[in-house]
Chains A and B, each alone.
Chain A
């Protein structure tokens, strides 16, 4: 079914959405092809089953096909929805069509009766009646849901073309009189079919068949109530969706107000100080990002997030930009904590002495054996062997801290080329 089904794939929903006829691939009306699309069974197999079913059911299935053809909307070659034959039921054309289909089905039934492909009058006629009544009820429930989704200004026929996936918000009921009439007619048909069936089987007189009577009555009742219950469930679901949506919107609005609007006001006040404005914008950006990532990425607690937090703190304190890239992650054991502490010192050092030169890079890589962290700045650089006293102090604290935990720190720098501090430590588990 690959090649012929191609156009349908364009809107993946058509394949798994409600039942649609597919005349492009069908032989007669495309109903079986549409059914195949819907349930994902090979169409040829369905066709064979259908033919077998027609013979076994004495032609009843053929009538069901005709009804299905009439009430199931179809898609055209491009996968667009075409209204059901009977969806314009109130319109003149729809009425004629429905009438014609009914007559044709009746004729087919009579032909089968003459040919002897028949069970008994007692079974077939009540079933035909019940099917017609059920079709009316179902059709009514469907058209009401679709009517709601359509925009009010659209003419009824166009309105019914609108595809409905979720219940919509603006109720637009069709004429209540027509609805009542159709509903009552459908119920009468189904109930009548049940009674006819019972009387033809002589079940009305004898109490011995009370159980049988009850079963048939329940069946008829279920047939009547099913569409209403179905619609009720759908309305409840759509109401719930709408409520969740409005709650979410309120939450977003509150958040934007608390954070973004406040920051924007602050930035306008501090417009004269570019560094302050940049720092405010960066802090807000980080906060918003964290909020957006929110529940999506719950990586809190590891080395990577500890390093990111340290970098953000220093960004705020020194108004510099730090770009953090991390590969892999691990829990915050003593070794990892030592690395975070040393990295913080290194970042502070870089922010103090080289913050003007451009962004500071922090790169962390964790594998099974070791943790490596690099802090690189684009400042003026220096000769490590002739480091000024204040820088040597910081260096001692970084190198000293790493050595105490069994790791190492090296500093590479040259005047004019920035500097880079490398922190390495073997992981405890690997020692």
Chain B
């Protein structure tokens, strides 16, 4: 882990009020390099400042957070994003996660929790809120036709399901580790694997959510 000084971030949100709110809350915990209010501004500022993590609003005019990820990924595929949203709708969350965000938290999260989540994303881990865990369980519930199943991507392992269920029940990562009697690193690994499946699997639940979102925008 490269737990050096405080992680640097760029805040992307079309509401100035919200940006300054976040900035005030993470004061001293995170190093805010810049704020962007539109997709174009975000792409430019992220390219200029190269932050450790981009805090990304899901809903923005001009394609939303998913569009920012797609454009930045052309020049800087390694850039890490954490999605932040007031929306609880599965299609919003899944669309931005499938575009490449490494996690999703709701805007009601506290400053400390947000800082911890950013740190985790900076270190290459995934951040699952209880709600995202619920979506993942929903998406991978039920069976897929045998012929189409890619066990690597289209199904969760028993352990991954257990981890997700505990997160959905409101357990912190270290509490999950305690409960399952595994190390925190192993929990991280399971969550990372689920993120990969969420992003790459072609299960129709996931595609459907993502497609619905793009049509709505």
Q: Does B93 contact A (CB under 8 A)?
A: no
- Encode contact with B along A300-327: 1 for CB under 8 Å, 0 otherwise: 0000000000000000000001010111
Complex CA gap A361/B166 in Å reads 11
- Encode contact with B along A363-400: 1 for CB under 8 Å, 0 otherwise: 10101000000101010000000000000000000000
Complex CA gap A367/B137 in Å reads 11
Within 134-188 of B, Cβ neighbours of A (below 8 Å) are at 134, 137-138, 141, 165, 168-171
Determine the chain A residues whose CB is within 8 A of the CB of B24 once the complex forms. Answer: none
Determine the chain A residues whose CB is within 8 A of the CB of B171 once the complex forms. Answer: 376
Q: Does B100 contact A (CB under 8 A)?
A: no
Complex CA gap A328/B168 in Å reads 13
B170 and A365 within 8 A (CB): no
B170 and A327 within 8 A (CB): no
Q: Does A431 contact B (CB under 8 A)?
A: no
Say which residue of B108, B138, B141, B169 sits within 8 Å of A363 (CB atoms).
B169
Given A289-B88, A325-B131, A363-B130, does the pair A376, B170 have CB atoms closer than 8 Å?
A: yes
Determine the chain B residues whose CB is within 8 A of the CB of A323 once the complex forms. Answer: 130-131, 170
| Smallest Cβ-Cβ distance to A293: which chain B residue | B89
Determine the chain A residues whose CB is within 8 A of the CB of B169 once the complex forms. Answer: 361, 363, 374, 376, 420
Complex CA gap A363/B132 in Å reads 12
Within 394-431 of A, Cβ neighbours of B (below 8 Å) are at 420
Complex CA gap A365/B88 in Å reads 18
Complex CA gap A348/B68 in Å reads 43
A363 and B89 within 8 A (CB): no
Determine the chain A residues whose CB is within 8 A of the CB of B170 once the complex forms. Answer: 323, 359-361, 363, 374, 376, 378
Say which residue of A327, A359, A374, A378 sits within 8 Å of B137 (CB atoms).
A327
Complex CA gap A328/B134 in Å reads 9
Determine the chain B residues whose CB is within 8 A of the CB of A420 once the complex forms. Answer: 169
> What's the tally of chain B residues with a CB closer than 8 Å to chain A?
15
B130 and A325 within 8 A (CB): yes
B141 and A327 within 8 A (CB): yes
Determine the chain A residues whose CB is within 8 A of the CB of B88 once the complex forms. Answer: 289
B141 and A325 within 8 A (CB): no
How distant is B160 from chain A, measured CB to nearest CB, in Å?
14
Q: Does B84 contact A (CB under 8 A)?
A: no
A365 and B130 within 8 A (CB): no
B89 and A327 within 8 A (CB): no
Say which residue of B89, B108, B134 sits within 8 Å of A325 (CB atoms).
B134
Complex CA gap A325/B133 in Å reads 9
Complex CA gap A363/B133 in Å reads 11
Complex CA gap A321/B108 in Å reads 11
How distant is B100 from chain A, measured CB to nearest CB, in Å?
22
How distant is B158 from chain A, measured CB to nearest CB, in Å?
14
Determine the chain B residues whose CB is within 8 A of the CB of A297 once the complex forms. Answer: 89
Determine the chain B residues whose CB is within 8 A of the CB of A325 once the complex forms. Answer: 130-131, 133-134, 168
B-side interface residues toward A, CB under 8 Å? 88-89, 108, 130-131, 133-134, 137-138, 141, 165, 168-171
Q: What are 20 A-B pairs with beta-carbon distances under 8 A?
A: A293-B89, A297-B89, A321-B108, A325-B134, A326-B134, A327-B137, A327-B141, A328-B138, A328-B141, A361-B170, A363-B130, A363-B134, A363-B170, A365-B137, A365-B165, A367-B141, A374-B169, A374-B170, A376-B170, A420-B169
A-side interface residues toward B, CB under 8 Å? 289, 293, 297, 321, 323, 325-328, 359-361, 363, 365, 367, 374, 376, 378, 420
- A327-B168, A359-B170, A361-B130 given; name 17 further pairs at CB < 8 Å: A297-B89, A321-B108, A323-B131, A325-B130, A325-B131, A325-B133, A325-B168, A327-B137, A363-B130, A363-B134, A363-B165, A363-B168, A363-B170, A367-B141, A376-B169, A376-B171, A420-B169
